[in-house]
């Protein structure tokens, strides 16, 4: 059984970095599923921060995953598991793994700065560990409330990362992390480990910004007797101007969706950026997952450029199946199109929305003005339409006859036809458009 998780904090809208993490986890699981394994994708909402968590952000997470076609097998909220976390905290306190500290945030900040000034690593000095019961009583008498730190063993923490290979850190260089705040709430680190154990997470795929956390969390897994998952830390994406954080990453999926970017465009690009694979063009996440392999990812940070989505989108759009296209039209309350229209127009689209313009342009009863000098030619053309089937061969037969009759050729021959039939200088091949219009409509447009 393979169990992965995506654990967003609903304190802001999903951005491209979040989305990529979600997708990478999903792709990893889907690949295993394609290979016949049992898999589960857990969506865990890290909503312990009551102040900053907002329902609309959480809703956006669901919308985003659904938009891209990612389905989760299990949904959990950290806010519903507080009692469980307390239980573990009490256990660790009893085991002496957690120790009370009384510095204020300001005092800690001062200590950090002082160590930095002395060119020392700004790690916590473990003052709390040296406090006697009397010291603590005295501090509490002063009105101080304790926060608790997790005591790190000074040993090597190593793991084989699915992306980075062998990784190793030493406890000595790391600060004992605070796991219980002064107000009794818990920061990210410990609850995440508790959840990973309780939900049976087997593989944790998250950004490179978590590698040091992984070292610390490995000690927590050990302290809790849980099975340590396999980790994979792909490098963070960078933006054109450097970092791609919350701000540059303001590229959220809603904007992309509204600009006509297909979900599969985003999926194809995000699942392959950072690998040497040619960007795959696939219709479904299932098919896309076949290309996926975390070991294909490099360790350097790739540059993500939104423009690449716009370059890829036309390739994704014209590859869309007729069924998908009609589903999407139906969602907008529009009637279905037939295969001939779709195939004629698809190579000319940059986004699916452009299709509606061509549907309208091909609909019955349209007349486009023909310049006076071409009016007679258009009439002649109408009269020369070949009898019999009106199909993809019709155009060649028709224009050959027209060429012979009028002596026109090249642009003089074709341009007036295009203008009369579509009203535009450019567009899909007339050969393909003719059967879409049909004989009757073709004639009426030519006769103006």
Partner RNA sequence: GACCCUAUCGUCUAACGGUUAGGACAUCGCCCUCUCAAGGCGGUAACACGGGUUCAAAUCCCGUUAGGGUCGCCA
Among 33, 34, 49, 406, binds RNA (CB under 7 A): 49
The whole-angstrom separation of Cα 139 and Cα 425 is: 83
Pick 34 or 301: Cβ nearer RNA: 301
Among 132, 276, 339, 365, binds RNA (CB under 7 A): 276
DSSP SS3 for 13: coil
Q: Which of the residues 309 through 328 are near RNA (CB under 7 A)? A: 311, 314-315, 318
Looking at the Cβ atoms of 108 and 205, the one nearer to RNA is 108
Radius of gyration of the chain from its Cα atoms, rounded to whole angstroms:
31
Binding range to RNA, per CB under 7 A, among 61-69, 81-89, 163-171, 438-446: 163-171
**Residue 223: how many CA atoms within 13 Å on its side-chain side?**
23
262 forms part of the interface with RNA (CB under 7 A): no
Of the candidate residues 126, 199, 226, 238, the single one contacting RNA (CB under 7 A):
238
The reply to whether 12 sits near RNA by the rule CB under 7 A is: no
Given the complex with RNA, which of 243 and 330 has the nearer CB atom?
243
Residues belonging to the chain: 448
406 binds RNA (CB under 7 A): no
Cβ-based nearer residue to RNA, 39 or 237: 237
Residues of span 126-155 touching RNA by CB under 7 A: 147
Task: Report the 10 Å Cβ neighbour count for 389.
Answer: 11
Q: Which of helix, strand or coil describes residue 292?
A: coil
Is the Cβ of residue 168 or residue 331 nearer to RNA in the bound state? 168
Of the candidates 398, 381, 391, which has an alpha carbon nearest to the alpha carbon of residue 444? 381
Q: Which is nearer to RNA, 203 or 210 (CB)?
A: 210
- Residue 225 contacts RNA per CB under 7 A: no
3-class DSSP state for residue 28? Answer: helix
Task: Single out the residue of 214, 219, 279, 442 in contact with RNA (rule: CB under 7 A).
Answer: 279
Taking CB under 7 A as the rule, does residue 235 contact RNA?
yes
Residue closer to RNA by CB (options 39, 219) is: 219
Please work out the total of residues on this chain that contact RNA, with binding judged by CB under 7 A: 81
Count CB neighbours of 353 within 10 A: 14
Q: How many CB atoms are located within 10 Å of the residue 420 CB?
A: 24
Q: Which residue has the tokens 């447009």?
A: 445
Positions in 373-392 near RNA (CB under 7 A): none
Cα angle, residue 18 at apex, residues 17 and 22 outer, rounded to 5°? 120
User: Closest Cα partner for 160 from 120, 116, 211, 196?
Assistant: 211
Closest CA to 131 of 114, 147, 120, 118: 147
- For the chain, the maximum distance between any two Cα atoms, rounded to a whole number of angstroms, is 111
Q: How far is CA 375 from the centre of its chain?
A: 53
How far is the C-alpha of 219 from the C-alpha of 159, rounded, in Å?
Answer: 12
**From candidates 97, 203, 418, 445, binder to RNA by CB under 7 A:** 418
Tell whether residue 275 is a contact of RNA (CB under 7 A): yes
> For 43, what's the count of Cα atoms within 13 Å in the CB-facing half-sphere?
20
Stretch that binds RNA, among 19-27, 133-141, 283-291, 428-436 (CB under 7 A): 428-436
Nearer to RNA, 239 or 263 (CB): 239
If the CB atoms of residues 37 and 311 are measured against RNA, the closer one turns out to be 311
Contact region with RNA (CB under 7 A), list: 31-39, 114-122, 334-342, 360-368: 114-122
d(CA 431, CA 80): 62
Kindly indicate which of the ranges 64-72, 332-340, 364-372, 414-422 contains the residues binding RNA, using the contact rule CB under 7 A: 414-422
Which residues, numbered 18-47, are part of the site for RNA (CB under 7 A)? 46
Nearer of residues 347 and 357 to RNA, judged by Cβ: 347
Residues 441, 382 contacting (CB under 8 angstroms): no
Among positions 178, 197, 267, 289, the unique one binding RNA when judged by CB under 7 A:
178
Tell the residue number behind the tokens 């480990």, with chain if given.
193
Q: Nearer to RNA by C-beta: 54 or 164?
A: 164
Nearest approach in angstroms of CB 425 to RNA is 6
Q: Tell the smallest beta-carbon distance from residue 59 to RNA (Å).
A: 17
Print the binding letters for residues 331-370 with RNA: x by CB under 7 A, - otherwise. ----------------xx----------------------
Whole-number Cα distances in Å, 202 to 108, 355, 366: 36, 44, 61
Phi, psi (degrees; rounded to nearest 5) at 52: -95, -20
């Amino acid at each position: 059984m393979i169990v992965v998780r995506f654990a967003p904090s609903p304190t802001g809208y999903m951005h491209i970095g979040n989305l990529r993490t979600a997708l990478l986890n999903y792709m990893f699981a889907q690949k295993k599923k394609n290979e016949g394994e049992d898999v589960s994708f857990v969506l865990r909402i890290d909503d312990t921060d009551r102040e900053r968590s907002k329902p609309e952000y959480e809703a956006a997470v669901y919308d985003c995953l659904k938009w891209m076609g990612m389905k989760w097998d299990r949904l959990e909220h950290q806010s519903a598991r507080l009692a469980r976390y307390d239980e573990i905290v009490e256990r660790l306190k009893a085991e002496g793994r957690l120790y009370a500290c009384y510095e204020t945030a300001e005092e800690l900040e001062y200590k950090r700065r002082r160590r930095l000034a002395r060119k020392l690593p700004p790690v916590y000095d473990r003052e709390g560990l040296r406090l006697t019961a009397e010291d603590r009583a005295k501090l509490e008498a002063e009105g101080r409330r304790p926060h608790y730190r997790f005591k790190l063993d000074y040993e090597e923490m190593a793991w084989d990362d699915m992306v980075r290979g062998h990784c190793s850190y030493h406890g000595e260089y790391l600060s004992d992390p605070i796991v219980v705040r002064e107000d009794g709430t818990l920061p990210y680190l410990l609850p995440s480990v508790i959840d990973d154990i309780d939900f049976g997470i087997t593989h944790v795929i998250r950004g490179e910004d978590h590698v040091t956390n992984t070292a610390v969390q490995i000690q927590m897994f050990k302290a809790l007797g849980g099975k340590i998952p396999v980790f994979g830390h792909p490098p963070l994406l960078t933006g054109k101007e450097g970092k791609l954080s919350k701000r540059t990453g303001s590229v959220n999926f809603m904007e992309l969706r509204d600009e006509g970017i297909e979900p599969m465009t985003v999926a194809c690009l995000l699942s392959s950026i950072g690998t040497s694979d040619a960007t795959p063009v696939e219709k479904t996440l299932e098919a896309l997952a076949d290309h996926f392999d975390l070991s294909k990812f490099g360790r350097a940070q790739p540059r993500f450029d939104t423009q690449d989505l716009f370059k890829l989108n036309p390739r994704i759009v014209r590859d869309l199946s007729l069924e998908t296209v009609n589903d999407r039209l139906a969602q907008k309350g529009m009637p279905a199109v037939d295969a001939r229209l779709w195939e004629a127009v698809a190579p000319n689209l940059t986004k699916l929305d452009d299709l509606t313009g061509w549907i309208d342009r091909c609909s019955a009863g349209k007349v486009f003005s023909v310049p006076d000098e071409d009016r007679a030619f258009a009439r002649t053309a109408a009269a020369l339409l070949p009898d019999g089937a009106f199909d993809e061969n019709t155009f060649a037969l028709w224009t050959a006859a027209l060429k012979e009759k009028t002596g026109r050729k090249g642009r003089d021959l074709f341009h007036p036809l295009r203008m009369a039939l579509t009203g535009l200088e450019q567009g899909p091949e007339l050969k393909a458009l003719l059967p879409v219009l049909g004989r009757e409509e073709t004639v009426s447009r030519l006769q103006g």
